[in-house]
Amino acid sequence: MIQERIAALRSLMAERQIDAYMIPTSDFHESEYVGDYFKCRKFITGFTGSAGTAIITQTEARLWTDGRYFVQAAKQLEGTGVLLMKSGQEGVPTEEEYLAEVMPQNGTLGFDGRVVNSQLGEKLEELLEDKHVKFSWKEDLVDLIWEDRPALSAEPVWILKENYAGKSAADKIADLREAMKKEKTTVHVLTTLDDIVWLLNIRGNDVVCNPVVLSYALVTMERFYLFINEAVLDSEVKSYLKELGVTVRPYNDIYDAVSQLKGQKVLLETAKTNYAIISNLDESNAVVDRMNPTAPAKAVKNPVEIENMKKAHIKDGVAMAKFICWLKKNIGKQTITELDAEHYLDNLRAEQEGNLGLSFHTISAYGANAAMCHYSATPESNAALEPKGLYLVDSGGQYYEGTTDVTRTISLGETTEAEREHFTLSVISMLRLAAVKFLYGCRGLTLDYVAREPLWSRGLNFDHGTGHGVGYLLNVHERPNGIRWRMVPERQDNCVLEEGMVTSDEPGIYIEGSHGVRTENLIVCKKAEKNEYGQFMEFEFLTFVPIDLEALDKSLMNERDVELLNSYHSAVYEKISPYLTAEEAEWLKENTRAI
């Protein structure tokens, strides 16, 4: 099937004299996760991961993806003729380097200009300039061969009340205009979905697990234009937007609107604005390329949001505690598969008051499947859980009170020495990072070594970031805060850590063909003491879910590690036990006991 699709694409390319066609994982808004309509890369390669770029020539088909997906992509590409390119690995060219090599003189590179960001487009223009390569960007070739392509999502929009948002949309818009003034700009083009819904205090459901709305915004000092499918707006939302001074226009009119701008100083972010929009801008305009001002503003949660998120995490902790208790008591007594466990946990979350669904697709992985750190159980891969080894579950929920994300690795019975060692190291790493105190001005890059040292000292590592920002009833991955050991510029997650930023803390170890472990909590940054050395900062746990003592090797822990775990477990029991049945509370008491 995949080979037939690639052949059909090559036929269209040949008709148009296109030498290479690039298909990224993106929508028109540079979203990390995309709706079904936009899954062109999955359609053409069969790879289902959330990150990757396919490049098809008349003789080759290649897929680039990152370390999270190497194992998964290798399996899914078998027999397709698509070659896996392991991004970041020694000897592996980048997509740009590959194109520079294979594009012929006076050749044509094709892509849908709406799904390629303008920063990449401009980079490719410079890279291929000497070969006089032309771009064919006004046509979506995959659309021409995707006969049963899903429709664009058109889910209803709803208003997020201020008792959840903590700040009015009017105040946020005023702050945005102040930021525009500081940059001496007259127009702001905003295309990132999470920024738009945060700015307007609205939510939707146009990307699975991400409560965003397909839309664009164009903001001046006097006017605010929202480009959206008007059918998703009921009378209440229309009235609300009108009161905010928002003018609603059809979704695709953004391209005509930007073409009408003349002599303006336009604030936008080229890495997040698609190539087609930039290409429609008149040359009389001056572009000021900056991170959207809403991104850092959104990342700093206000006091109302933080208090709400604490409530959401109690609910989430209750669901997780019930799940782990159920799993422990039933493993080996009844048939439980990865999908059975996933559905059981998803249902427990859905029962929590104020739950609006999942924040991402639950990762339910047993044994060797957990070595694929973004594994997704399918009917074909669905492993039966046995009373031995380790089971990893990475999951989260969307609540009116915020977004959650938690990973626990659970012992199902007898474990090996290596499994216990790796599990314990992930727990040690998570606890030590959460306990750091640091001077204001530090970035995640400064702190990452705290989490990796227990692993690096043993010649171990994990091939993903240690932490990512988390939105408020928004995307589970949010910039500009993050924690990682090296710069990855395109992730845009290395800002100074500010009070109110919520970040994940999730070290792990993955042994291909054997097992995978990860322990993840969310932490919120806050101020500690201020003295003659400056303002100190620290983290506070938001996540309260028991850590499996049965898989722990205490001999690997120092005295402080033990204190940190015992203190954490004391808080877990205190906060979660009141919402459990007597039997569950008794189980939790035993499983959060001091060691």
Looking at CATH, the fold of the domain delimited by 1-145 is given as Creatine Amidinohydrolase; Chain A, domain 1 (3.40.350)
- Give me the pLDDT at residue 564, please: 98
Mean pLDDT, residues 426-440: 98
- Give me the pLDDT at residue 284, please: 98
Domain boundaries, the chain: 1-145, 158-298, 300-592
Contacts of residue 126, defined as CB under 8 A and 6 or more positions apart, other chains included, come to none
Domain 158-298 has CATH 3.40.350.10: yes
Q: How far is CA 519 from the centre of its chain?
A: 17
Statement: residue 137 has pLDDT above 90? yes
Statement: residue 72 has pLDDT above 90? no
pLDDT in tens, 301-358: 999 999 999 999 999 999 999 999 999 999 999 999 999 999 999 999 999 999 999 9
Its pTM stands at 0.93
Write the burial class of residue 161 (CB in 10 Å: 0-12 exposed, 13-18 middle, 19+ buried): exposed
Statement: residue 33 has pLDDT above 90? no
Q: Where are the alpha helices (DSSP H) in 201-274?
A: 235-243, 254-259
201-210, 239-248, 369-378, 568-577: which has the minimum mean pLDDT? Answer: 369-378
Same fold, 158-298 and 300-592: no
Q: Which of 482, 476, 309 is nearest to 395 (CA)?
A: 476
- Give me the pLDDT at residue 231, please: 98
Please report how the helices 303-330 and 582-591 are oriented relative to each other, as an axis angle in degrees rounded to 10: 90
The band of 556, judged by pLDDT with boundaries at 50, 70 and 90, is very high
CA distance 448 to 64: 26
- Give me the pLDDT at residue 490, please: 83
Number of H helices, E strands in the chain: 19, 28
Percent of the chain whose pLDDT exceeds 70: 100
Residue 452 neighbours by CB distance under 10 Å? 18
Mean pLDDT, residues 562-577: 98
Statement: residue 67 has pLDDT above 90? no
pLDDT in tens, 153-198: 999 999 999 999 999 999 999 999 999 999 999 999 999 999 999 9
Mean pLDDT, residues 500-521: 97
Contacts of residue 116, defined as CB under 8 A and 6 or more positions apart, other chains included, come to 22, 24, 26, 137, 274, 275
Q: Which amino acid is at 265?
A: K
CA distance 20 to 422: 44
**Reduced to 3 states, what is the DSSP secondary structure of residue 86?**
strand
- Give me the pLDDT at residue 406, please: 98
CA distance 15 to 13: 5
Q: Do the Cβ atoms of 121 and 198 come closer than 8 Å?
A: no
The band of 483, judged by pLDDT with boundaries at 50, 70 and 90, is very high
Helix (H) or strand (E) holding 310: helix 303-330
Q: In what order do the strands lie in the sheet with 437-439?
A: 437-439, 534-541, 521-531, 502-505, 467-469, 478-483
Architecture label for domain 300-592 = Alpha-Beta Complex (3.90)
